[in-house]
Amino acid sequence: QKEVEQDPGPLSVPEGAIVSLNCTYSNSAFQYFMWYRQYSRKGPELLMYTYSSGNKEDGRFTAQVDKSSKYISLFIRDSQPSDSATYLCAWGENTGGFKTIFGAGTRLFVKA
């Protein structure tokens, strides 16, 4: 079983739609949870991170973590064409040095 499972998409939605992106994980040692966004030919950039179960909101973005189910989600409200990118879920652990594990990424296309 992979440590992180993420649907690669692609996911295509019209402008203004609510987008839901999801990941599952298997390692209970993970300590913090993140979502990164990666535009073509660029490195990933951090969108959100959290340590605990529950929701965390930042503008149009909401991250949801359910540690009991080992499931995290990212919701994007009022999606824009500029949101078109690959979204990577990620987990962190400290096992003799911090290590971040990434999902494979979901490609999102928002059509104008």
Which two structure tokens, joined as six digits, stand for 90?
């990620």
Is 13 among the residues that bind other proteins (CB under 8 A)? no
Is 105 among the residues that bind other proteins (CB under 8 A)? yes
Is 90 among the residues that bind other proteins (CB under 8 A)? yes
Residues 4, 23 contacting (CB under 8 angstroms): yes
Minimum distance from CB of 32 to other proteins (Å)?
A: 6
Those residues whose C-beta lies under 8 Å from the C-beta of residue 9, and which sit 6 or more positions away, are 106, 107, 108
Is 9 among the residues that bind other proteins (CB under 8 A)? no
User: Which of 24, 44, 83, 108 touches other proteins (CB under 8 A)?
Assistant: 44
Minimum distance from CB of 38 to other proteins (Å)?
A: 8
| Closer residue to other proteins, CB minimum distance, 16 or 27 | 27
The neighbouring-strand residues paired with 4 are 25
Stretch that binds other proteins, among 14-22, 56-64, 69-77, 88-96 (CB under 8 A): 88-96
Judged by the rule CB under 8 A, the positions of this chain that interact with other proteins are: 4, 6, 8, 32, 34, 41-46, 49, 88, 90-92, 94-105
